[in-house]
Structure 1
Amino acid sequence: MEITDLTPAERRVLQAFPKGEAVDLREDPDDDPALGASWGPERTVRAEVLRAMLVDVPSRDGEIAGLKLWGARITGVLDLKYGTVECPVRLRACHFEKTPDLYGAQIRALVLTDSVLPGLTAGTLRVDIVLRLTCCRVTGPVRLAGAQVGGAIFLNRAHLGPGDGGPDLDEPALSLNHATVGTDVWAPSLVVHGETRLNGTTVGGQVNLDDATLHRPGGTALHAENIVVATDLRAMRLRAEGRINLTGAAVPGQLNLAYARLSNPEGLALRASSCVVGELWLRSAAPIEGTVNLRRAQLDLLHISPEVWPERVLVDGLTYGRLDPHLPAEQRLPLLERETGGYLPFGYEQLTCAYRAAGDEAAARTVQFAKLRRHRRTLPWYARAWGHLQDVTVGYGFRPMRAAGWLAALLLTGALAFAIKHPPALKPGEAPEFNPLFYTLDLLLPIIGFGQETAYAPQGAYQWLAYLLIIGGWVLATTIAAGVSRSLSRQ
């Protein structure tokens, strides 16, 4: 193409480019780029003209060149594949007829704010300063896998994918996997119809998905395995239909899903297994629809109310230093019954540690008590019988006052019975004076002796009562000893 073969609109752009001046082809600031296919020649710029300017036209002496264009209909393919563009490219509120191809290109800055595109191919793109897709509407895939951006990526209020009623894409609507971003991925109110892929991406600042909508029912809405974020991953008020996969993510600050609504009823709604996160917030989130997998995750703080958990959870190996809000143990324990792997003692131990760290020893004992009761259901019948006996008598050592109550009841029963009818002495002339209280204590306490048991021999029904007191004393002594031993081992 001859550089002289230009339309009036292209000539304006060519004249403004060396000085970095703006060219605004809009008839009205509120022009909708979605209607750009109907714009006439006065607003049409060929992509090949833009390519020629960006690659071949030098800046004027003392000026900083730059492409700054508003409201243009860009025809043809803007092909900058493997090219190097030394100036910023700003194409705002433009309508692209075909998908730009920026694969492997190097650009100072790329701004496509408010533009409408059928797609964007920019894998391994290198942008020195900023990549801005604010308020863009892209019906096809945005391919940014392996991109390197020195500053931030802006996707706030962008709409990606075919939208409601459109055909499903054969690939992710947004591919930003294995990318490197110097500061932030800023995407509040982002709307994506299709998969958003961020796995293996490194972000030097934060990822902001506040008020975003990720729509891929039955599939993966957000695929961010092994993402590394230097500060926070915010997704407050996120609406996600489909799986959120954060396996292996490293977020030293907050993973904030407060007020979020996560839904994938037929599968995993949230998978954050093996991730390392400072604080996981699900404060005031809607009840999660689908399974949650937090196995082997490491959290400093987990903020979630019991009603947010779904019916199926996977929490084996989950560790956390603090659990908020602080609630009675009875409200936290049902979660451990939902673990699909059956009885897993680690969950009870972790919950116990959290309550002890908060200084709530009573709640910690309640959790341990529940753990032993849950474990009992996995034992053979004879072990379950012994467990039931320990439960009823001393609550596995966590309810010591029960033992005192049983001892008092047995002592009162025996003392009254033997006071009514004294047992005969074995040696009448040598036996000490009979005392029903201390005789009953002699029967109940297997170690301490008051000389009563060896001097008197009950008969008939009273003999069976004596046997019952002896057996009861041994059972109570054994269970108390087991409880004391367990308490000392905890200390």
Structure 2
Amino acid sequence: MEINDLTPAEQRVWRAFATGTTVDFRTAGEENGPERTVRAVVLRALLLNGPREPGEVAALKVLGARITGVLDLRYAAVDSVVRLGHCRFEKAPRLAGAQLNYLSLRDSVLPGLGAARTRIDGSLRLTRCRIDGPVHLGGAQISGALFLEQAELAVEDPAQPVLQLHQISIDDDLCARGLRAQGLIRLDGATVAGSIDLEDAELINPGAHVLDGESLDVGANLLGRRLRARGRIDLRGARIPGRVDLLRAHLSNPGDTALRASSCVIGEIWLRGGGTIEGRLNLRRAEINQLHLEPEMLPDEVRLLDLTYTFLTPHEPAERRLPMLERDEEFDPHAYEQLTAAYRRIGDDQAARLVQLAKQRRRRSTLPWYGRLWGHLQDAAVGYGFRPLRAAVWLLSLLAVGSVAFALEHPRALKASEAPDFNPVFYTLDLLLPVISFGQESAFAPSGWHQSLAYVLILTGWILATTVVAGVTRTVSRQ
């Protein structure tokens, strides 16, 4: 391409390329006028075979241009820095398979971007870009960071992902603070060596996936403070050694799952300060070191099967934590054991006992009728062994009733000459305590309604003794 074939605007860009000088069209004529229009084929020719000057670093630096045609750099090797800021692209650039040094399109307007499997030795900057079409970066390798701060992304076809980052490899951070995206963001199989920053972002795809991060591998943190997501966030199988920070985030996907972090390995999850999650929360089979969860953010449905965590913060009474377990439609004894262990780590044995009692009551609902009946008896008698003082109250009450009843009317002696003096208190104790004998029960035989009372005392004594033994056994086994 000869310089005489170029328009005045293109000649400015051509001459500036050899020395890496910035060409600013933002004050040159009308936005779509010839003074600001540059053909994409000219930019391609510069990047592939542009003029060089000894001792200078060639670079394409253009601001405020209107770029017509398709910037096609597929499978090309470009060793110059490319900065096309505040530009308006007529067609979506095609960069699939290209090898670039550094690419910045900040503050530009594009109808899309095709850069699958692109290799960028530096960073890719799409800060404050408005892209009205799909952005395809699947399989790309970025040695620096990917910047999407305050970018606005949308697609006409809701079934098409708005941002495809699947299998991408980023050696630094993915910075998307303030991102506005309408459609699906694919991050499945992606590797980010640093952090993913989605603070103040707004992700919209109602009734469908808004963020698919299955098997995502992050080196540090996933930051989502004040994130607003209308759709499903899926982090199944992700590995995030730092924290998933959803402080003051608003997650909404009514009638379906709002947040799925099942089978994940995560250092910390922060769910606090935001509104109640609208939709299901799924943490099944996840391994979390610290689960920082405010009860107010819990939705009506949770899935906690085989969830493992070491610390649960902030410290809350057991009465405020138990609804988290009761909202899971499937009874999972492991969930109750995890909550019990969390309370014991901080020395709150009373809360741990309440959780174990709630576990037995929940388990009772899964038993056949005779098991539920026996469970109710154990619960009423000694609270499944976690409230042993109840047995003492029952015994003292029955002892008082029996002592008064038998004191008013002594039962007859079986052998008057051999019978000891009748004592209503010890006679009642003989009936209540099946393993202790004071010699009263065998010496006297009640009659009439006293006989019925004696049967009730004997039966109740056996029930109390059995439940006390079961409770003591359970307590010993826990220790």
**With structure 1 as the length reference, what TM-score do the two structures score?**
0.95
Deviations 1:387-415 (A, max 9, x none): 11111111111110100000001111111
Q: What is residue 418 of structure 1 aligned with on the other side?
A: 406
Task: Tell me whether 1:336 sits opposite 2:325 in the alignment.
Answer: yes
Deviations 1:187-244 (A, max 9, x none): 1000001111111110010000000011111111111111110000001111111111
Which shows bigger deviation, 388-397 or 437-446? 437-446
The 5-angstrom pairing of residues 275-294 of structure 1 reads 275-294=264-283
Contact 1:262–1:269 (Cα < 8 Å) also in 2: yes
Task: Tell me whether 1:437 sits opposite 2:425 in the alignment.
Answer: yes
The 5-angstrom pairing of residues 244-283 of structure 1 reads 244-283=233-272
What is the letter of the counterpart of residue 10 of structure 2?
Answer: E
Task: Tell me whether 1:70 sits opposite 2:58 in the alignment.
Answer: no
Aligned partners of 1:95, 1:14: CA distance in 2, in Å? 19
The 5-angstrom pairing of residues 230-379 of structure 1 reads 230-340=219-329, 342-379=330-367
Task: Tell me whether 1:84 sits opposite 2:72 in the alignment.
Answer: no
Aligned partners of 2:227, 2:73: CA distance in 1, in Å? 35
Q: What is residue 133 of structure 1 aligned with on the other side?
A: 126
What is the letter of the counterpart of residue 441 of structure 2?
Answer: E
SS of match in other structure, 1:244: strand
What is the letter of the counterpart of residue 95 of structure 1?
Answer: R
Aligned partners of 2:412, 2:158: CA distance in 1, in Å? 95
What is the letter of the counterpart of residue 132 of structure 1?
Answer: R
Contact 2:17–2:51 (Cα < 8 Å) also in 1: no
Contact 1:190–1:211 (Cα < 8 Å) also in 2: yes
Task: Tell me whether 1:57 sits opposite 2:45 in the alignment.
Answer: no
Q: What is residue 174 of structure 1 aligned with on the other side?
A: 163
Contact 1:141–1:169 (Cα < 8 Å) also in 2: no
Q: CA deviation at 1:489?
A: 1.2
Number of matched residues?
A: 479
Contact 2:37–2:65 (Cα < 8 Å) also in 1: yes
Q: CA deviation at 1:272?
A: 1.1
Contact 2:385–2:468 (Cα < 8 Å) also in 1: yes
Aligned partners of 2:159, 2:407: CA distance in 1, in Å? 90
Q: 1:77 to 1:170 in 2, by over 3 A?
A: farther
Q: What is residue 19 of structure 1 aligned with on the other side?
A: 19
Instruction: Give the share of equivalent positions with the same residue, in percent.
Output: 57
What is the letter of the counterpart of residue 24 of structure 1?
Answer: D
Aligned partners of 1:169, 1:264: CA distance in 2, in Å? 16
Q: CA deviation at 1:3?
A: 4.1
Q: What is residue 116 of structure 1 aligned with on the other side?
A: 109
Task: Tell me whether 1:392 sits opposite 2:380 in the alignment.
Answer: yes
Q: CA deviation at 1:180?
A: 0.4
Aligned partners of 2:10, 2:387: CA distance in 1, in Å? 87
What is the letter of the counterpart of residue 370 of structure 1?
Answer: A
Contact 1:233–1:254 (Cα < 8 Å) also in 2: yes
Contact 1:178–1:200 (Cα < 8 Å) also in 2: yes
What is the letter of the counterpart of residue 206 of structure 2?
Answer: P
Contact 2:3–2:11 (Cα < 8 Å) also in 1: no
Contact 1:43–1:72 (Cα < 8 Å) also in 2: yes
Runs of at least 4 residues off by over 4 Å: none
Aligned partners of 2:52, 2:280: CA distance in 1, in Å? 58
Q: CA deviation at 1:374?
A: 1.4
Q: CA deviation at 1:445?
A: 1.1
Contact 2:95–2:114 (Cα < 8 Å) also in 1: yes
Q: CA deviation at 1:42?
A: 1.1
What is the letter of the counterpart of residue 350 of structure 2?
Answer: A
Contact 2:184–2:205 (Cα < 8 Å) also in 1: yes
Q: What is residue 87 of structure 2 aligned with on the other side?
A: 94
Contact 1:176–1:197 (Cα < 8 Å) also in 2: yes
Aligned partners of 1:400, 1:272: CA distance in 2, in Å? 40
SS of match in other structure, 1:279: strand
Q: CA deviation at 1:291?
A: 1.5
The 5-angstrom pairing of residues 214-225 of structure 1 reads 214-225=203-214
Which shows bigger deviation, 197-206 or 411-420? 411-420
Aligned partners of 1:145, 1:214: CA distance in 2, in Å? 19
What is the letter of the counterpart of residue 318 of structure 2?
Answer: A
Aligned partners of 2:418, 2:258: CA distance in 1, in Å? 81
Aligned partners of 1:169, 1:71: CA distance in 2, in Å? 30
Which shows bigger deviation, 323-332 or 472-481? 323-332
Q: 1:170 to 1:5 in 2, by over 3 A?
A: farther
Deviations 1:28-69 (A, max 9, x none): 8xx9xxxx8x52111111111111111112532111111111
Q: CA deviation at 1:459?
A: 2.0
Q: What is residue 160 of structure 1 aligned with on the other side?
A: 153
Contact 1:205–1:232 (Cα < 8 Å) also in 2: yes
Task: Tell me whether 1:464 sits opposite 2:452 in the alignment.
Answer: yes
Contact 1:140–1:169 (Cα < 8 Å) also in 2: no
Please point out which of 229, 234, 237 is paired with 2:218.
Answer: 229
Deviations 1:333-362 (A, max 9, x none): 12222213x322222222222222222111
Q: CA deviation at 1:303?
A: 1.6
What is the letter of the counterpart of residue 298 of structure 1?
Answer: E
SS of match in other structure, 1:199: coil
**With structure 2 as the length reference, what TM-score do the two structures score?**
0.97
What is the letter of the counterpart of residue 154 of structure 2?
Answer: G
Aligned partners of 2:208, 2:398: CA distance in 1, in Å? 64
Aligned partners of 2:372, 2:278: CA distance in 1, in Å? 36
Aligned partners of 1:58, 1:486: CA distance in 2, in Å? 84
Q: CA deviation at 1:424?
A: 2.2
Aligned partners of 1:112, 1:102: CA distance in 2, in Å? 13
What is the letter of the counterpart of residue 201 of structure 1?
Answer: A
